Chains A and B, each alone.
Chain A
């Protein structure tokens, strides 16, 4: 068990190095473009936003270098640890295939429930987008939706455990998950805060880059974890 956890943490840390590269190449240009717009905007209305955190504050070099790396590494290590725990719980209980298949299922279901579905309802905003008065409500709604998504995934997986056919298992599980989450997405508030003047191109580039960053983090954590378990962990 401790060995699996070490593999998970190592995998997450290594993955965050790769993710740092993708975030620099794909994400930072979008962030910089949005910050340039924000700065231009705050010069135009200096009186409205005297203390906006992005216009002043820390240097961009610190944020885009060590700050970005530390944030990604911390999330990567946490993801790797949770992957290792989920692997230990699922193997031989919910999933009975090879290491690769087990890790593949956990990662695919986790990525869908933790990243893709919450992103569809509450996509990330670049600097200059988002009303600072609703940050509390938005953050709360986002984490509530995320928690519900994980709980529903857990419920759906346990509910189909006894179903004999693999095909029906997937269909019933997917139906439970999709039903609950669609209902929640309708009930929870939506926030329409993108200024019509904000360029859609920058917004799309930014949101696509958040998906790329998360996909890189999850996929490389899974691949490195599989490799470590296959290479050094035949008996764990």
Chain B
């Protein structure tokens, strides 16, 4: 009975070893930086692709998320 109640509390679970988290953390951070860059800044201050299509497509999202747009 006590076991069942306690398992609902996350602190009783063993912490996930950092070694297991590290590769996911690296991948997720990399992807997050790319996403934030393309939604938040591409073809504004800097451009990877030529033109303004990326900027124009995510235009409203960029404004409404509060990124510096233009």
A interface residue numbers (CB < 8 A to B): 1-2, 5, 23, 27-28, 31, 53-54, 57-58, 62-64, 66-72, 74-75, 77-79, 81-82, 84-85, 88-89, 91-93, 95-99, 102, 115, 119, 122-127, 130, 132, 135-136, 138-140, 142-143, 206-207, 209-211, 213-214, 217, 230, 234-235
Contacts and interface: CB of A to CB of B under 8 A. Distances in A.
B52 A67 contact: no
B64 A210 contact: yes
B7 to A, nearest CB: 6
| Majority DSSP secondary structure for residues of B touching A | helix
A125 to B, nearest CB: 7
21 contacts: A23-B61, A31-B64, A53-B70, A54-B70, A63-B57, A63-B59, A67-B61, A72-B65, A75-B36, A81-B31, A85-B28, A124-B66, A124-B67, A124-B68, A124-B69, A135-B68, A136-B46, A210-B63, A210-B65, A210-B66, A214-B65
A124 B63 contact: yes
Interface string B15-55: 11010110011001101100110110100111000001101
Contact of A82 (B9, B28, B45): B28
B56 to A, nearest CB: 4
A90 B22 CA distance: 13
| Ranked 5 nearest A-B pairs via Cβ | A71-B61, A92-B15, A124-B66, A139-B45, A210-B66
A62 B64 CA distance: 15
A214 B59 CA distance: 16
A1 B16 contact: yes
A33 B7 CA distance: 52
Tell which of A31, A88, A99, A140 has the most Cβ of chain B within 10 Å: A88
A39 to B, nearest CB: 15
Contacts of A93: 15
Contact of A96 (B11, B21, B41, B52): B11
Contacts of B35: 74-75, 77-78
A23 B39 CA distance: 15
Given A82-B28, A98-B10, A234-B8, A53 B16 contact: no
